[in-house]
Amino acid sequence: MNISYRNMKKIKHQSRILACWTLAIIFFFPIFWMVLTSFKTELQAISIPPLFIFEPTFENFSIVQERSDYFKYATNSLITSFGATIFALIIAVPSAYSMAFFPGKYTKDILLWMLSTKMLPAVGVLMPIYLLADAAGLLDTKTVLIIIFAMMNLPIIMWLLFSYFKEIPSEILEASRMDGCSTFDELRHIVLPLSWGGVASAGLLSIVLCWNEAFWAINLTAGDAGTLTALIASYSSPEGLFWAKLSAASTLACAPIIVFGWFCQKQLVQGLTFGAVK
């Protein structure tokens, strides 16, 4: 059987679309299942075989709101995510600028070392950080989360900004210097406007990572500074059924960041794939 070149191309194109849809469904399924389970009763949530069609209930959402102050946790998530991102950007922008335009002998090594700190398991430094936070009177405060989240995301933000800044032709900066620009003016009037998209996508990525952080949020907070990830963790039970209520708490916790990510997806994808096809 002869398949023409045009048909072959069409089949290839459709196969790619099918593969993309399959992958998208696989990635989306856990979120779909979480949302679906949040509308089930506890008995329906553990039903074997699993139920796809059932009479939905909003009971789990009202239980979550009754038992936990959702808005307090959401506000904490908002403050810590944005606070840590701003704090990290304040440090990362000048550092990345200096490394991109005035590289030293060890710039590459420093960048690699910064990235290597991401490979350390967080639990390895739990005790020293806990003791430091305790000594500084910062346990169960948003301040400690802002500091930790910022430090945690700093290497990624640094790398993203460094890659963006490297794309700016150095001739533009030389010209501005000849016109009498100070370092601060150069950063403010030349570098930042030219790489605004990169700074925004690094910031967005940092917000998403901070929002989803659970380890430090659970370990360093108690009653006051808990974020939405701590709220989710509180619905796991060693003795008793909890899947439906846990799913409702997770849906409420994920909803804001999913909506946020949806609106910012263009910038996020741009930031994550920058420099990938050189």
Partner 1 sequence: MKKNIKILAGSAILAVASSAAVQAGELTVATVNNGHMITMQSLTGHFEKDNPGIKVNWVTLDEGTLRQRVTTDIATKGGQFDVMTIGMYEAPMWGAKGWLHSLEFGSSYDVDDLLPAMRNGLSANGNLYAAPFYGESSMIMYRKDLLDAAGMSMPDNPTWGHVQDAAAAMTDKANGVYGICLRGKPGWGDNMAFLTTMANSFGARWFDEEWKPQLDSPAWNHAVNFYVDLLTHYGPPGSSGNSFNEILALINEGKCGMWIDATIAASFVSDPSQSKVADVIAYAQSPVAVTHRGANWLWAWALAVPAGTQQSDDALKFVEWATSKEYINLVGEEKGWGSVPTGTRSSTYQNMKFLAAANFAEAEMKAILSADPSNSTQEPTPYQGVQFASIPEFQAIGTAVGQQMSAALAGTISVEDALAASQKAAEREMIKAGYY
Residue 192 within binding range of partner 1, rule CB under 8 A? no
Q: Which of residues 73-112 bind partner 1 (CB under 8 A)?
A: none
Minimum distance, C-beta of residue 278 to partner 1, in the bound complex (Å) = 37
Looking at beta carbons only, is 46 or 114 nearer to partner 1? 46
Looking at beta carbons only, is 73 or 159 nearer to partner 1? 73
Which range touches partner 1 (CB under 8 A), out of 4-12, 41-49, 54-62, 92-100? 41-49
Residue from 140, 190, 192, 267 binding partner 1 (CB under 8 A) = 140
Residue 239 within binding range of partner 1, rule CB under 8 A? yes
Residue 223 within binding range of partner 1, rule CB under 8 A? yes
Residue 138 within binding range of partner 1, rule CB under 8 A? yes
**DSSP assignment of the chain, as one string?**
----HHHHHHHHHHHHHHHHHHHHHHHHHHHHHHHHHHTS-HHHHT-SSPPSS-----HHHHHHHHHS-HHHHHHHHHHHHHHHHHHHHHHHHHHHHHHHHS--TTHHHHHHHHHHGGGS-GGGGHHHHHHHHHHTT-TT-HHHHHHHHHHHHHHHHHHHHHHHHHTS-HHHHHHHHHTT--HHHIIIIIIHHHTHHHHHHHHHHHHHHHHH--HHHHHH-SSSS--HHHHHHTT--SSS--HHHHHHHHHHHHHHHHHHHHHTHHHHHHHHHTTTT-
Which range touches partner 1 (CB under 8 A), out of 11-19, 93-101, 126-134, 194-202? 126-134
Residue from 57, 65, 107, 143 binding partner 1 (CB under 8 A) = 143
Which range touches partner 1 (CB under 8 A), out of 98-106, 190-198, 214-222, 257-265? 214-222
Question: Which stretches of the chain bind partner 1, using CB under 8 A?
Answer: 42-43, 46-48, 67, 126-127, 130-131, 134, 136-143, 218-219, 222-226, 233-242
